[in-house]
Amino acid sequence: MILNSINEPADLKLLSHRQLVELCEELRTFIVDAVNTNGGHLGSNLGIVELTVALHRSLNSPNDIILFDTGHQAYVHKLLTGRIDGFAKLKRKGGISGYPSREESDHDWIENSHASTVLAYAHGLATATQSLNQTEPVDNRRIVAVLGDGSLTGGMAFEGLNNLGHSGSDVTIVLNDNGRSYAPTISLLTDSLIKIRSNPVYMRRQRMLESFTARLPIIGKYSLAGIRASKAAIREALEPQAFFEPLGVRYMGPFDGHNIEELEVALTNADKFDGPVVLHVRTQKGRGFAPAENDHVKAMHDTSPHFLDKEAGSGANPTAPPADANTAPSPTSTSIEPKPDSYTDAFTESLIKLADEHQEIVAITAAMPDSTGLLPFRERFGDRCIDVGIAEQHGVTAAAGMAMGGLRPVMAVYSTFLTRAFDQVNLDVGLHRCPVIFCLDRAGITGSDGPSHNGILDMVLLSKVPGMTIFAPSSYQELQQMLHDAYDITDGPVCIRWPKTSAPSATPDQVGIGVNARKITTGSDVCIIGVGKMAGAATEAAEQLTQHGISATVWDPRAAKPLDPAMLDDAANHGLVVTAEDGLAEGGIGSSIGLRLAGRGPEVHVLGVPTEYITHDSADTILHNLGLDAEGIANTVLQCLNRG
């Protein structure tokens, strides 16, 4: 197998064209197998195989800097930089991260998994390279930023383009376009223009012609204007560089993202121009794998382990020859539904029922309608589901405007991505007391996607927004009740946060109402308060403590803000109070409980996530290591009571 002979990028330069084609097939097969074993990002990596090979054949990494936005498309890059063995435990402890990791390799410069940031990194690195070259020259270093067309919808990407163009930084921007944005009409004339405009020899001759024409007596300036106007008219009609070039960024493309030879020529030519250059590359997400190619929702962007078993059970053919990069996915594939009995499924079901009753409800997503459970809502209500792209900040402030105009916006977003828009939550929504409902999926420890995806900041941050109500459901039915309660709160924003786990089922008597806490058990030795999913762990801990003769009261606060006074009064009657939450301990809900109980008698011990970056592993393993499971809570109680 050719892939086994690739230990570093330089090895690629020894391969023939036939061997490169074979290598690309091996890379796709390897990635499908690795993701099937461990789960991970599939479609984006299948689509970037040839492009990554071309990058490493054209550049000299790590001296040349390759930056990926977002990093989930870096699997091929990792395989070509000597990390094939780590894929046996992809996204698991002892294996490699699902994103670039500076600890893994010198070829990984940044560890980004939040979109639209790479051009800012590139601008900073180019500035540093230019500055150092004045005193300590860096050996012909190139900086190449690879970003998807989806990432280009984020505000930071536009800010990066503006600053790169203004500074004239020598950065090559590879726009990995899978067909949804910035796709000009493909024709023979366009192909000819592409080849001409990306040829430095032609460009030099063009400048010479313009210079000569401008010096012609009398008619010079008119002839020059005519030449430029004619070229501009053709460009405006046929190419999207009219968007980039006013920003000072040269546009080249589009190029076939699955043609290595064509990509290498383009990358070589881009290096001959001064200033930033965009290479527009057309790729097909999920290329070469039939189920991904036929998934019109997200081309199997990410998958759980053992998905091949499910494909075999459905009768799907998992193999397919690579399709043309400009061919649309099959319209016959089915929509991606939330996992049954998940918190996301509970949210989807309840939101649709609520929207049936209240026409003013609209749903907002930041380019993730599938993962946040909004696809069924969109299918039912159409334009009442608003996708703002990868633009969380815009989404939050737009939600404030919608609320001001009489709508009831529900913004569904991952916890880790809402933190990108905290200023807007605080001052655009909170300050105006807009009744926006934020529904945070993947709150708490998510595990395998590493530190960038753990949703551990939301309770610390949102609890500091005046007038914010925070719900943390502990069951499927509680989430549905909380969404109805959130709708009834009209004097300020509401947040409902839930984890990436299955949701326990609760009976009617186990479901609370409003912002009232729910008492689960009554005891005398210790009061355990478990926030959200930690209520289940707290209940199990209480059962374990009975074996040690310890009687425990357990509370599910339900509302992390405001805290129920009845719960606090009851907790104050115990000598020991232990709180547990799957967010940061410092400044979190347990800390708030401690402050409210200060001077009232009990010792308060706060369990939560430490203020550090938590590396990838399974969520259950991480929580166990942090003492945030039943065993850990019980052990904390025993130690505090000196019985451990």
Q: What's the pLDDT band for 192 if we cut at 50, 70, 90?
A: very low
Q: Which of 285, 298, 408, 518 is catalytic?
A: 285
Q: What is the pLDDT of residues 72-122, one digit of tens each?
A: 899 999 999 999 999 999 988 888 898 888 889 999 999 877 889 999 999
Q: What's the pLDDT band for 296 if we cut at 50, 70, 90?
A: confident
Q: Which of 223-237, 293-307, 572-586 has the lowest mean pLDDT?
A: 223-237
More reliable by pLDDT, 583 or 306:
583
Is residue 212 domain-resident? no
Q: Is the pLDDT of residue 316 over 80?
A: no
Share of the chain above pLDDT 70, in %: 84
360 plus 453 within the same structural domain: yes
Is 235 a catalytic site residue?
A: no
Closest Cα to residue 439, out of 406, 408, 464, 402?
A: 408
- Token pair belonging to 167: 């500074």
493 plus 521 within the same structural domain: no
151 plus 93 within the same structural domain: yes
403 plus 469 within the same structural domain: yes
Q: What is the pLDDT of residues 371-411, one digit of tens each?
A: 999 999 999 999 999 999 889 999 999 999 999 999 999 99
Closest Cα to residue 113, out of 621, 411, 454, 461?
A: 454
Q: What's the pLDDT band for 331 if we cut at 50, 70, 90?
A: very low
Is residue 245 domain-resident? yes
**342 DSSP 8-state letter:** B
Q: What is the pLDDT of residues 347-380, one digit of tens each?
A: 999 999 999 999 999 999 998 999 999 999 999 9
CB contact set of 291 (below 8 Å; sequence gap of 6+): 300, 311, 316, 318
16 plus 85 within the same structural domain: yes
Is 91 a catalytic site residue?
A: no
560 phi/psi in degrees, rounded to 5:
-75, -20
Total count of domains within the chain: 3
**267 DSSP 8-state letter:** H
CATH number at residue 575: 3.40.50.920
Q: If you average pLDDT over each of 73-77, 146-150, 300-304, which comes out highest?
A: 73-77
Q: What is the pLDDT of residue 328?
A: 38
Q: Which of 134-148, 317-331, 601-615 has the lowest mean pLDDT?
A: 317-331
Torsion sign across C-alpha atoms 416, 417, 419, 425: negative
Is residue 201 domain-resident? no
Q: What is the pLDDT of residues 486-499, one digit of tens each?
A: 999 999 999 999 99
Q: Which of 141, 142, 420, 500 is catalytic?
A: 420
Owner of token pair 């990838």: 616
Q: Is the pLDDT of residue 62 over 80?
A: yes
Q: Which of 119-133, 324-338, 508-522 has the lowest mean pLDDT?
A: 324-338
- Distance CA(288)–CA(290), nearest Å, equals 6
CATH number at residue 167: 3.40.50.970
Q: What is the pLDDT of residue 136?
A: 64
Q: What is the pLDDT of residue 545?
A: 98
555 plus 600 within the same structural domain: yes
Tell me which residue range forms the domain holding 394: 343-497
523 plus 482 within the same structural domain: no
Burial degree of 638 (CB within 10 A; 0-12, 13-18, 19+): middle
Q: What's the pLDDT band for 330 if we cut at 50, 70, 90?
A: very low
Q: What is the pLDDT of residue 412?
A: 98
Q: Is the pLDDT of residue 317 over 60?
A: no
532 plus 406 within the same structural domain: no
Is 392 a catalytic site residue?
A: yes
Q: What's the chain's average pLDDT?
A: 87
270 plus 356 within the same structural domain: no
118-133 vs 155-167: helix axis angle to the nearest 10? Answer: 20
Q: What's the pLDDT band for 446 if we cut at 50, 70, 90?
A: very high
- The residue from 265, 282, 299 where one domain ends is 282
Is residue 253 domain-resident? yes
Q: Is the pLDDT of residue 457 over 90?
A: yes
pTM score: 0.80
78 plus 145 within the same structural domain: yes
485 plus 375 within the same structural domain: yes
- For residue 314, give the 3-state DSSP assignment: helix
Residues of 253-288 as b/e, b for ≥16 C-beta within 10 angstroms? bbbbbbbbebbebbbebbbeeeebbbbbbbbbbbbb
- Distance CA(399)–CA(426), nearest Å, equals 13
60 plus 137 within the same structural domain: yes
Is residue 96 domain-resident? yes
Q: Which of 239, 311, 392, 581 is catalytic?
A: 392
Q: Report the number of secondary-structure helices (H) and strands (E) in the chain.
A: 25, 19
More reliable by pLDDT, 275 or 185:
275
Q: What average pLDDT does range 260-265 have in this prediction?
A: 97
> H helices within 382-433, ranges in order?
392-404, 415-418, 422-423
